[in-house]
Amino acid sequence: MDKEDILHIQAPAKVNLFLSVLSRRADGYHELSTWMQKLDLADRISLQPTSFGVKIQCLGANLPEDENNLACKAARIFFKKTRIKAGVAIFLEKKIPIAAGLGGGSSDAAAVLLGLNTLYEAGLTRVELMEIGLLLGADVPFFVADYSAALATGIGEKLQKKNALTDCWFVLVNPGFSVSTKWAYENLVPVQMSNFALTIEGNPDILSRSTESDFSGSFFNDLEKVTISRYPEIEVLKKKLIDAGASASLMSGSGPTVFGIFTDFERADAVKENLEKDFPGRVFLTCPLHSE
């Protein structure tokens, strides 16, 4: 590739179709079992090679434009690990809501790692990039992996490829406030954590539903208990989506974004348009990625 070229990359959002918090570890992290699905809603990232340094410009969002931005941090750690004497200018166009439970920051970091590996022909494998990604956050390896859907265990870094959802659409509703993932986990008490027997490992039929039209009863999120206790409007949004015809509705990650799964596009589109009246600019109609 000509080093004067600008590389354009999509950084997809994700939803947690299932999130079971199993236990708190001695190091403060939590053991999880979560089924993650990538969506076609995505941030847009452009990488321009430079002779030195890392610069980032964020479009469409009030985000830090320094090492406090995970995409910038990803670039710095890439150059440190590969010892490549070069730099990059990152242009980040945000489409995924911030601090919304959709993995936008982690996906941006993963896209930068993958993009720089291509741009500078570093030759790192996916596994090597995933190991670097884990230094940035537990969700980053999932976005680096060439999986549209995966069962993640450990703190989220152990991945098992799963079939992606098909023939369905997601209506995402972001209520307009952010939720700290750190806060959500810190306020999760043991009684709110799942019994291991209730996780996906104990219910393999849950995953088999991924190609069926009936999603009801398949999915849950332990972090809902924490986030809804502080933000009851999340429960109201879930009910609105179910009443509007969603087969299932859940909060993604630590929230606050709520999604509804629809098997009829016209119905999903109508629900999206209706919800836009109360949540202008914060409702998204998207579908699952399935590259398999």
| 55 φ, ψ (degrees, to nearest 5) | -125, 145
Kindly list the domain boundaries of the chain, sorted by start residue.
Answer: 7-161, 169-286
Top CATH class of 169-286 equals alpha beta
pLDDT digits (tens, 9 = 90+) for 61-101: 889 898 899 999 999 999 999 999 999 999 999 999 998 99
Minimal CA–CA distance to 198: which of 169, 174, 227, 219? 219
pTM of the predicted protein model:
0.90
What is 7-161's CATH number?
A: 3.30.230.10
Give average pLDDT by consecutive 10-residue segment, the chain, 292 residues.
76 95 80 94 98 93 90 98 97 94 97 98 97 95 97 91 94 93 85 49 44 57 92 96 96 95 97 97 96 60
Residues known to be catalytic: 14, 139
Q: Is the backbone peptide bond immediately before 256 cis, with ω within 30 degrees of 0?
A: yes
| 87 φ, ψ (degrees, to nearest 5) | -145, -175
